[in-house]
Amino acid sequence: MSTTIVGGGNMGEALLAGLSSSDVTVVEQSSSRASYLSSRYGVPVSELEPAVSKADTVFLVVKPYHVAALLDSIAGHVRPGQLIVSAVGGTPTGSIEARLPGAPAVVRSMPNLPVSVGAGTIAISGGRHATSEDLDRVRAMLAPLGRVVEVAESQLDAVTALSGGGPAYFALLAEAMIDAGVLAGLPRPLAEELVLATAAGAGRMLGSPDADPAALRAAVCSPGGTTITAIHELESRALRASVMAAVVAARDRSIEMGR
């Protein structure tokens, strides 16, 4: 089964890293970026039209404002039996189907960057012409990249806000904690080492099948101790309400981008 990834930016590269053992071709309009991907992953980089014509599966991994022009360019080169898998944020399957001929099998997906290390979270949803066999095919292809969850398309804007963007929120927290360590008097390299190891450790615990974030937090908070003092400070600055407002704003932005 041959796969073509159109768009080799942050997410295209992450998918490529995860899929690199398969038969993958990349299409990337920036020549410097294309050379980097080809030498780093040993994959062929091709022109758009032939790469789309020959592929069994075409991944669309461009920015939302580039997708209409891209679909117009490939409309004459797609064929029945091909699967179109979009990772384009905020772009409904209906607007992809409308720009392609026939009854294209379109699957909308929302991956996140940890797909590059096999620890991604990928939500998928089939368009009007995607069969359950098509969804099974996508699920099997993406399984090595992390957890694959099928959702209703109406849920994908919220999924985008939550797990699509989620790695950035954890990274922001890690950055803030590193600065906090410096503010508390630690040298920056030591603060970085401690925070990154703590993030990896907490991530591993939270990744176990019976993980319970509330129980983990409670287990760290000694009565009258240091951690509950820190959590009181965070809660008095409305950490939870801020996170909720941020995710809802991101969901609304995804909906707005799809209009």
Ligand X SMILES: NC(=O)C1=CN([C@@H]2O[C@H](COP(=O)(O)OP(=O)(O)OC[C@H]3O[C@@H](n4cnc5c(N)ncnc54)[C@H](O)[C@@H]3O)[C@@H](O)[C@H]2O)C=CC1
Ligand Y SMILES: O=C(O)[C@@H]1CCC=N1
How many angstroms separate the CA atoms of 80 and 184, rounded? 61
Q: Does 165 bind ligand Y (CB under 6 A)?
A: yes
Q: Does 89 bind ligand Y (CB under 6 A)?
A: yes
Least distance CB 123 / ligand Y (angstroms): 11
**Would you say 26 or 159 has its CB closer to ligand Y?**
159
Q: Does 96 bind ligand X (CB under 6 A)?
A: no
Cα→Cα distances 13→44, 93, 121, Å:
13, 23, 16
Q: Does 160 bind ligand Y (CB under 6 A)?
A: yes
Q: Which residues pair with 66 in a beta bridge?
A: none
Nearest CA to 60 among 3, 129, 145?
Answer: 3
Q: Does 126 bind ligand X (CB under 6 A)?
A: no
Nearest CA to 251 among 175, 180, 157, 182?
Answer: 157
Q: Does 63 bind ligand X (CB under 6 A)?
A: yes
Least distance CB 102 / ligand Y (angstroms): 28
Using the contact rule CB under 6 A, the part of the chain among 35-43, 72-80, 159-167, 233-241 near ligand Y is 159-167
| 35, 19 Cβ separation under 8 angstroms | no
Q: Does 114 bind ligand X (CB under 6 A)?
A: no
| 111, 19 Cβ separation under 8 angstroms | no
Which token pair is 173? 């927290």
Which token pair is 135? 């969804």
Least distance CB 62 / ligand X (angstroms): 4
| 82, 57 Cβ separation under 8 angstroms | yes
Site for ligand X (CB under 6 A): which residue of 2, 20, 29, 227? Answer: 29
Site string for ligand X, 159-188 (x = CB under 6 A): -----x------------------------
Q: Does 48 bind ligand X (CB under 6 A)?
A: yes
H runs (alpha helix) in 93-238? 93-97, 132-142, 156-159, 166-183, 188-206, 213-220, 226-236
Per rule CB under 6 A, count of chain residues that contact ligand X: 27
Q: Does 164 bind ligand Y (CB under 6 A)?
A: yes
How many angstroms separate the CA atoms of 113 and 47, rounded? 25
Q: Measure the N-to-C terminal CA separation of the chain; round to a whole number of Å.
A: 34
Q: Does 18 bind ligand X (CB under 6 A)?
A: no
Q: Does 120 bind ligand Y (CB under 6 A)?
A: no
Which positions touch ligand X (CB under 6 A)? 6-12, 27-30, 33, 48, 61-64, 66, 70, 87-89, 110-113, 164
Which positions touch ligand Y (CB under 6 A)? 89, 160, 164-165
